Amino acid sequence: MTIYNVGSINIDHVYQVEHFVRPGETLTSGHYQKLLGGKGANQSIALAHAGGEVMHVGAVGSGETELLNQLKASGVNTQHVAQTEQATGHAIIQVNQEAENAIVLFSGANHALTHAQIEGTLAAAKPSDWVLLQNETNYISESVALAKARGLSVAFNPAPMEKTLVEQVIDQIDVLIVNEIEAMDLFAVDSVEQAQQLFQHNYPQLSVILTLGAQGVRYINAQGVVEVEAFNVTAVDTTAAGDTFIGFCLAGMMEKLPIEHALKRACAASALCVTQAGASVSIPTLEQVNQFLEQN
């Protein structure tokens, strides 16, 4: 069983700062890192670390062999990552003393995917395979349509949130992964509970993974709700926490683990992630996650 991740690949420029830069302010950074990132790449690495077979479908600027080598070293298949004349996508990330982040994103080559590239890649997919998407590349709705035409399951993490896009594809999605703000924004409501009820009422065919930060996570479908608490750790950098959770959770679901078990393992992976600085470099291995679970 393979998961085809149609996702972004970025160069992350990470700056440790006392506080987020204010309008008109010049701020000195105490530490700088240049790292592999992007929601797509992070989620592919998390999937691979969790034991999943992941095929990344994306694009980078020509000559970006270092980024591709890092993905390969993490266990990600990159044969369907195109190299284009456009610059590789990148992000400017500020991390403050409370381990919160503020991000400026440039799409670059992430918006150079082609219909032929995606169609050709999914032509080899089997009905048991999955397609995973975020909202950092082009051809989102087209990718969903191509996946469903081949009978594949689709998971969608619509970040950055774009309500109109979600509304266009939600009837074709099997698993929607959103945080509490995204869920409330989707329905224009003021509480997570209202959003939860509307998901169950309006989209009974849909499974929703609703991440709640330090409060844990809820798995919502027409049959009910499964809730798992987050682990209490000291956070250093939350940059890739959500991506780590998604990768480990989907890998667990593809393994047919009980959903509570898959959620708990994903929460543990996310907890370990935030104790380390950086994005992809902070994603733990399955062995590390299992050790953490044994101790907690």
CA distances to 82, 111, 216, 256 from 179, rounded to whole Å, are 30, 24, 10, 23
In angstroms, the CA 272 to CA 284 distance is 7
Question: What does pTM read for this prediction?
Answer: 0.92
Number of domains into which the chain is organized: 1
Active-site position among 12, 129, 237, 243:
243
> Residue 266 maps to which CATH number?
3.40.1190.20
- Annotated catalytic residue 129: no
Q: Over the stretch 124-174, which tens digit does the pLDDT of each residue have?
A: 999 999 999 999 999 999 999 999 999 999 999 999 899 999 999 999 999
In angstroms, the CA 111 to CA 114 distance is 9
Q: How confident is the model at residue 91 (pLDDT cuts 50, 70, 90)?
A: confident
Can you state the angle between helices 241-254 and 259-274, rounded to 10 degrees?
150
Q: Which percentage of the chain shows pLDDT scores above 90?
A: 83
Rounded to an integer, the average pLDDT of 246-270 is 96
- Which residues does residue 84 pair with via DSSP β-bridges, in sequence order? 61
Domain of residue 225, residue span: 2-295
